[in-house]
Amino acid sequence: MNNWYKKLKKYQEIIRISNNEMFASPGNFIGRIVIFCLRISLFGIIYPYVFKSSNLTSINGISVIQIVWSLALVQIIYQFSRKTYQDIRDEIMSGQIETKLNKPYSFLNFVFVDAMGKMPIQAIIYAVTIVLLLGTVFGIPHFTFVQIIGLIILFILGVILFTLNMILLAICAFWMENPDPVYWIIGKLSWFVNGTFIPLAILPASFRTIATYFPFSAPFFLGRIFEISTLTGISQLIIIQLIWIVVFAFIIKYLYRLGIKKVSINGG
């Protein structure tokens, strides 16, 4: 029991440090929030304009306000864990990872906890930002109780899955000189089916089916909260996310074990 407590305390310390690090450069943090606001404002400019010029009020039962909100919700996920990919990739590519292997913690757990540690505070900040910005300009769409609970669960699982996605892509660096092309290709493929540019609700049914089962679009399920709003539908999305989390965790663990065998210590 005492041993477990010691282990947890170690990761608790990592969370504390990563949170401190987040606010170490307030200019950087505030700047990112501002850019985030501008980015979601962009959706708020384009879609109402396009709807108005096409004389549309809704598509597939989804109103323009819901579209803007769903695009903004997808953008939230992108605000988490992107540094995780860069950090792991750089550690592996530079060979610096060798210095992490003899430390009294698991490198994988370290990067995961580091990313997750920032989640609660960041989540609150981004949620408040979205509600203030979109709520003031467009109004807040109607959410049922099931949707609100679903949104919270889909968000938490989404961030975890997105972090695992990033870790998986980054550890490709064990086998490739530079995993960036894989990162970009997967990233852009995901844009098709995760609702980054066009909400899935207004795309053909075939796209929505692909989106449901494509692992790299699963982190962004919260953007589908207006399209799938029933308890059964949301539960199905949550189960799919949970399955992918388990699958990704196993794959990462396995590949990481294989990968570290390839690390050559050069010294110096």
Partner 1 sequence: MVLKKYRLTEAKMKEFKNQIRWLLELIKLNIKSNLEYRTSFWMQVVGMAINNCAFLVVWYLFFQIFHSVNGWKYQDMIGLNGFVSAVFGLCFFVAYGMRRISKYITFGQLDAYLVLPKSPLIQILFAESYVSALGDLLFGIISLVIYCFIAHLSLGTIILLPILFILACCTFTGFNIVGEAIAFWIPNSNELTDALFEFMLGPSLYPNSAFTGAIRIIFTFIIPAIVVGGMPVNILLKMNPWQIILMICLSIFWLLLAKFIFDQGLKRYESGNLTGAH
For partner 1, the binding residues (CB under 8 A) are: 24-25, 27-28, 31-32, 35-36, 38-39, 42, 45-46, 49-50, 53-54, 56, 59, 82-83, 176-178, 180-181, 184-185, 188-189, 191-192, 197-198, 202-204, 207
Of 36 and 244, nearer to partner 1 (C-beta) is: 36
Q: Which is nearer to partner 1, 151 or 159 (CB)?
A: 159
CB 159, min distance to partner 1, A: 16
Quick one: 23 or 250, whose CB is closer to partner 1? 23
Q: Minimal distance in Å, beta carbon 46 to partner 1?
A: 5
Nearest distance from C-beta of residue 266 to partner 1, angstroms: 16
Q: State which residue, 143 or 207, has the beta carbon closest to partner 1.
A: 207
Query: With contact defined as beta carbons under 8 Å apart, do 256 and 171 qualify?
Result: yes
Q: In the bound complex, what is the minimum distance in angstroms from residue 150's beta carbon to partner 1? A: 26
